[in-house]
Structure 1
Amino acid sequence: MLLFIVRRVLGMIPTLFVIAFLTFFIIELPPGDYLTNQIAQLKASGEASAAAKIEFLRSQFALDRPFLERFGIWVGIWPGPDGFNGLLQGYWGWSFEYEKPVAEVVGPTLPLTIVLNVATVIFVYVVSFPIGIYSATRQYSWGDYGFTILGYLGLAIPNFLLGLILLYLSNRWFGLSIGGLMDPKYIDAPWSLDKLGSILAHLIVPTIVIGTAGTAGMIRRLRANLLDELHKQYVVTGRAKGLPERRLLLKYPLRMALNPFIADIGNLIPSLVSGSVIVSVVLNLPTVGPVLLDALRSQDQFLSGFILLFVAVLTLVGMLVSDLLLAVVDPRIRFGRRGTA
C-alpha cells in the first residue's frame, strides 16, 4: 500500500504540471491582460505618467515576455525579473486588482473553502448512502417514490435559488440572517471556541445548499448500481442458501456497488467549487469562489491562475483518497505486479 501511495503521489506531479500549463494557456487566451486594460483607460483620460508606471509593472512582472517564458517564470522553472519568484519557490504571484500579493488576497479564504468543501462532501455521502440503499432494497415503494421525487427536485432547482429561498424563509419565519460563515463580530477576532462554534453553525445552510444537487445525483447512482448487483446470480444463490438479507446485502452486493460511489469523490470536489461560486455571492460566503469570479472578469491572471490550480490540487487529492478507499472496499483491486487480480 505504501508503494502504491508513493507511485500515485509521484504520478500527480506531471499531471499537476499539465494542468498548470492548460490553466495558464486558457487564462492567456483572451486578448490583453489587466494592465493592458488599465493602460487603455489611463490613455483615454490623458494620464500618460500613470500609463508609463503600468508599463514598468509589465516589465517587472514579465508580462512583456513570450508565452512559454511567462509560464516558466510563473511556475518557477525559468529565471524571472529581480525579486520575482514562481510557485515552486512559494510565491503565488501578485494581484493587480487588489494591489497586494495573491497570498494575502486568498489566504483568509482558503481554509474556509476547504472546510466548506469537506463538510459538503461529508453531507453528500452521509445523506445519500442510507437513502440510496433504502431506495434500492425497497424498489417501487412509497419511500422510493418519495426520495425519487426529492432527488429530481434537488437536481432541477439551482443552488443559488435554493439559497435565496432559505435566506428569505429564515428571515421571514425566524428573523435570522444566515449569510456568511460566521457572525460579524468574529470576523477580525482571534480564533476561539466561540468563533469555531459560530462557523460550524453557519456551515449548515451553505452545506445543504451546495450539496443538494450532488446528494441527489449520488442517490440515483447508488440506487442504480445496487439494483444491478441485487439481480445478479450470486445474490440469488446466496438467498437460496438461506443467508439473512442484511448479511447478504452488506457482504456482497453493497461492496460491489460502492466502487462508482467512492470513485466520485475526486469528481465531486471541482463541481462543488464551481457550483458554489454564485452561492457564495448570494450567501456572502468568504470563499475563493467570489474572488475567482472577480479575477476572471478583470483578467487578474496570477490570482485566477492560482485559484484554478488550487482547485486542481483539491481534485487530485480527492482522486487519491478515492483510490485508497477503493483498495480497502473492493478485494478485487490489487496493487502489485501487473497481471495480478
Structure 2
Amino acid sequence: MLAYIARRLVAMVIMMFLISIASFVIIQLPPGDFLTTYVASQEQGSSVSIQQIEFLKQKYGLDQPFYVQYWRWISGIVFNGDFGYSFNWDKPVSELIWGQLGFTLLLSVATLLFAWAVSFPIGVYSAVKQYSIGDYIVSFIGFIGLAIPNFLLALVLMYIGFKYFGQSVGGLFSPEYRDAPFSLGKLWDLFKHLWVPIIVIGTAQTAELIRIMRANLLDELNKPYVTTARAKGMSEIRLIFKYPIRIALNPFVSTVGWVLPNLVSGAVIVSVVLNLPTVGPLLLNSLQSQDMYLAGAFILLLSVLTLVGTIVSDILLALLDPRIKLE
C-alpha cells in the first residue's frame, strides 16, 4: 500500500506540473489582461498611476515572454507560497484565498458528509424495497432534487427562513457576529446559518448519489452469489451488508474524485445568492475581470482537489474491495 501511495504521489506531482502549464495558458488566452483595463481607467481619469503599472509589469514579468512569466509564477508558488498579486483587489492572491478557504472547506466537507449520510440509507432502502411505495416516493423526491436549480432552492429557503422564522439566512453569520471576534456565540451562530447552504448545495448531490447507490445495489442483489447465500440460510440483513452493499459502494466511493472540486466550483451561483464568504464569488470575479493570477490560483487549487480526491477514492476502493489489485 505504501509503495502504491508513493507512486501515485509522484504521478500527482508530474500531473500538477502539466496542469499548471495548461492553467497558465488558459488564463492568458483572452485578448488583453487586467493591466489593459488599468490603462483604460487611467485614461478616464482614474487614480491609477503609470508608475504602479510599470512596477507591476516589471515585478511579474508581464512584458516578458510567456515562459518567463510562467516560471516567475510557478517558482513563487513552489518556493515561497506566493500565488501572485490580485490586480483587482490590490492584495496578494494568497491573502485572498486563505481568507476564504477555511469557510469553503468547512462548507464542502459538511455538504459531502450530509450527502453521504442521507443518500446511503435511502439508496439501500430504495433498492431493497424496490417498487414499494417508499421507493416511489424516494425516486420522486430524488428526481425533484435533480431538477430544481440550487440557486432557486436557495431563494425559496431564504424566503421561508425570513418570513416564517424571522432569521436572516444570507451569509454564514448574523450581522452582529459578522465582524465580531471568535467566541462560542459566534460558533453557534455559524452552525445556525450553516444548514441552509448545506441543504441547498447538497440536494442535487444527494439525489444523484441515491440513484447511484440504488442502481448499484439492485445490480448486485440479482447476482447468483446472493441467491446462493440465501439458499444456505444466511439472514437477509447479514447477507445485504456483508456482500452486496460492500461491492455496490465502489462507484459510490469513486465519486470523491469529482465531488470535492465540484462542491467548490459548482456552488458559485449559490454563494453569490446566499452571500457566502467562500472562494466561489472570488473565482467568478477573477474570471470576469481577467485577474490572471487569482484565476490561475483557483484553477490550480481545483486541480489539486481533483487529484487528491482521486487518490483518496482509489485508496478507499482498495481497502473496500479485495478484488482490486494495487499493481
TM-score (norm. length: structure 1) = 0.91
CA contact (8 A) 2:38 2:48 kept: no
Distance 1:91 1:48 in 2: 27
| Residue pairs, 1:180-329, within 5 angstroms | 180-329=171-320
| 1:194 CA displacement | 2.4
1:50 is aligned to: 49
Q: Which amino acid aligns with 1:311?
A: L
| Residue pairs, 1:162-173, within 5 angstroms | 162-173=153-164
| 1:190 CA displacement | 2.9
Q: Which runs of 5+ in 1 are unaligned?
A: 77-84
Distance 2:79 2:217 in 1: 45
1:161 is aligned to: 152
CA contact (8 A) 2:217 2:248 kept: yes
Distance 1:135 1:98 in 2: 49
Matched, 1:72 2:78: no
Pair 176,18 (structure 1): closer, same or farther in 2 beyond 3 Å: same
Pair 38,122 (structure 1): closer, same or farther in 2 beyond 3 Å: same
1:82 is aligned to: none
Distance 1:131 1:48 in 2: 59
2:37 is aligned to: 37
Secondary structure at the aligned position of 2:267 is classed as helix
Secondary structure at the aligned position of 2:83 is classed as coil
Runs of 4+ in 1 over 4 A off after TM superposition: 46-49
2:8 is aligned to: 8
Distance 1:263 1:226 in 2: 15
Pair 49,109 (structure 1): closer, same or farther in 2 beyond 3 Å: closer
CA contact (8 A) 1:33 1:300 kept: yes
| Residue pairs, 1:130-141, within 5 angstroms | 130-141=121-132
Q: Which amino acid aligns with 2:189?
A: S
Secondary structure at the aligned position of 1:266 is classed as helix
Q: Which amino acid aligns with 1:35?
A: L
Partner deviation per Cα, 1:284-324 (whole Å, 9 max, x = no partner): 10000001111111111111111221222222222222122
Which has the larger displacement, 304-313 or 107-116? Answer: 304-313
Partner deviation per Cα, 1:133-160 (whole Å, 9 max, x = no partner): 0010011111111111111111111100
Partner deviation per Cα, 1:182-211 (whole Å, 9 max, x = no partner): 223333333332222222221111011001
CA contact (8 A) 1:162 1:209 kept: yes
CA contact (8 A) 2:60 2:72 kept: no
| Residue pairs, 1:49-128, within 5 angstroms | 50-51=49-50, 53-76=52-75, 85-128=76-119
CA contact (8 A) 1:238 1:248 kept: yes
CA contact (8 A) 1:159 1:275 kept: no
CA contact (8 A) 2:168 2:174 kept: no
Secondary structure at the aligned position of 1:161 is classed as helix
Pair 234,47 (structure 1): closer, same or farther in 2 beyond 3 Å: closer
Distance 2:36 2:194 in 1: 40
TM-score (norm. length: structure 2) = 0.95
Secondary structure at the aligned position of 2:152 is classed as helix
Q: Which amino acid aligns with 1:131?
A: I
Partner deviation per Cα, 1:93-116 (whole Å, 9 max, x = no partner): 111011111122222201100010
- Which structure ranks higher in relative contact order (CA pairs < 8 Å, sequence separation ≥ 6)? 2
RMSD over aligned Cα atoms: 1.7
| 1:46 CA displacement | 6.4
Distance 2:171 2:25 in 1: 34
Q: Which runs of 5+ in 2 are unaligned?
A: none
Distance 2:45 2:63 in 1: 23
Which has the larger displacement, 188-197 or 208-217? Answer: 188-197
Distance 2:122 2:281 in 1: 33
How many residues were matched structurally?
A: 327
CA contact (8 A) 1:131 1:219 kept: yes
CA contact (8 A) 2:115 2:209 kept: yes
Secondary structure at the aligned position of 1:267 is classed as helix
Partner deviation per Cα, 1:56-108 (whole Å, 9 max, x = no partner): 422222111111221121100xxxxxxxx344321121110111111222222
In the alignment, which of 129, 137, 143 is matched to residue 152 of structure 1? Answer: 143
Q: Which amino acid aligns with 2:162?
A: N
| 1:8 CA displacement | 2.0
| 1:19 CA displacement | 1.7
Secondary structure at the aligned position of 2:176 is classed as helix
Distance 1:86 1:264 in 2: 29
